[in-house]
Amino acid sequence: MGVYAMRLPDVGEGIAEAELTEWHVKPGDIVREDDILAAVMTDKAAVEVPSAVSGKVLELGGEIGQMMAIGSVLIRIEVEGEGNEAPGSAPETAKASAPAPQPAPDKDADKGAGSNAEETPEPAPAPAPAAAKKPGHRLPRPEGAKPLAAPSVRARARSEGVDLRHVPGTGPGGRISHEDLDSWIESGGIRQGGVTRGRNTGVEEQRVIGMRRKIAEKMALSKRHIPHITIVEEVEMGALEDLRAALNKKHEGSRPKLTLLPFLMRAIVEAVREQPGLNARYDDDEGVIYRHGGVHIGVATQTPQGLNVPVLHHAESNSLWGNAGELARLADAARDGSIKREELTGGTITITSLGPLGAIATTPIINHPEVAIVGVNKMQIRPVWDGQQFRPRKMMNISCSFDHRVIDGWDAAVFVQKLKSLLENPAMLFVEG
């Protein structure tokens, strides 16, 4: 038998380290070649690491949340025949973790040790813990029954703000004693709005790792580097919703179902055609703005692992239904974890939407290093003044944030008004030029 030390493979060009986010095995497990051993996350994507050999897991090379250098030992596996590690070179985890045995004290030596014995006296035996008081049998009190307690117990309960109806008694017939009251108070019984409840003092520790850590780092980077300016505008959506419903009915079963997002994508394509500075990425370090000809729209998507932003590349070259189909495919791939690395990078502008859960207005955070993001808020019927009277209209607010270092307020307002105009007059989305 030999030991095979499997090292963390190169999971992407230019990647020097990866975060260990999940173990699929533990010491003692039998694995086969190509079985998934672990999952790691880089700045670009989550990657599953398969086993290069078959054998028995001896040792895991890291803990969840640990950053591991590419090429460091990920796992050690016992294999048939010779491994790739010399015998004895693998650390013996069990021995390393166990404390070194201490020699038994020599009483005779202690007696003759003189001052040394006085410097290190033999520790006195710890006092035996006091015997815990056994609680009596707590009888359930019938609903609405008056609690039984001595006047002194009732007086003390009033001073402590305790409702005795909630205190179980251990005395005869469920009688409440001072000890029962002590136990109730020590357990956290407090008065809340006239009802005594127990305090929940539990604290759950949850490490920020994997996707959640990447999201935290990305959001902190964006807020730290980008001075945001956010513009909120209301849009009357009646005409677009009627058009969307008519197109879905006409092409039901033959084409992808149209949501609001493909129309918004088309509006963004038209708007940035007039203002290419908003379809850009800003390199802070070099002080260079890269304006892109292709419109690569990221769409914030909630997944079981956290927020992902799959990118629909070249939205300008797709039809309304083409974008709808590609958007659905990317969202499904992001949720089931099959999305490719290149489908999560290269965005030039982002859309974020909470759908029906959305609020009236939001202040979206820009997806660094982009310079603009378009937020979709909740659609609802509101009374709108038409010059003569209030009429019910289907309204929706759009919240757009911009990098104020490179986008002036005027340009931001022009962009938002262009989106509003196109969404309120959806026929203009299909007029070339």
The catalytic residue positions are 404, 408
* Nearest by Cα to 48 from 341, 343, 299, 347: 341
Query: Is there a contact between 396 and 234 (Cβ–Cβ < 8 Å)?
Result: yes
CA 130 to centroid of chain Cα atoms = 46
Which of helix, strand or coil describes residue 174? helix
- Name 83's Cβ contacts closer than 8 Å, sequence gap at least 6: 2, 3, 4, 5, 77
What is the spatial distance between Cα 396 and Cα 353, in angstroms, rounded to a whole number? 12
Q: How many CB atoms lie within 10 A of CB 186?
A: 8
The beta strands (E) that lie in 354-405 are given as 372-385, 390-403
- For the chain, how long is the longest CA-to-CA vector? 109
* Nearest by Cα to 211 from 34, 2, 45: 45
Q: Counting every residue, how long is the chain?
A: 433
Q: What are phi and psi of 419, to 5 degrees?
A: -60, -45
What is the spatial distance between Cα 359 and Cα 271, in angstroms, rounded to a whole number? 25
Pairing of strands 2-7, 17-23: unpaired
The per-residue b/e assignment along 288-317, b for 16 or more CB within 10 angstroms, e otherwise, is: ebeeeeebbbbbbbebebebbbbbbbebbe
* Nearest by Cα to 11 from 34, 53, 33, 40: 40
CB-based burial label for 338 (10 Å; 0-12, 13-18, 19+): exposed
Element (H, E) at 266: helix 260-274
What is the spatial distance between Cα 299 and Cα 164, in angstroms, rounded to a whole number? 57
Record the tokens describing residue 429, joined without a space: 């989305």
Peptide bond into 369 cis (omega under 30): yes
What is the spatial distance between Cα 135 and Cα 285, in angstroms, rounded to a whole number? 68
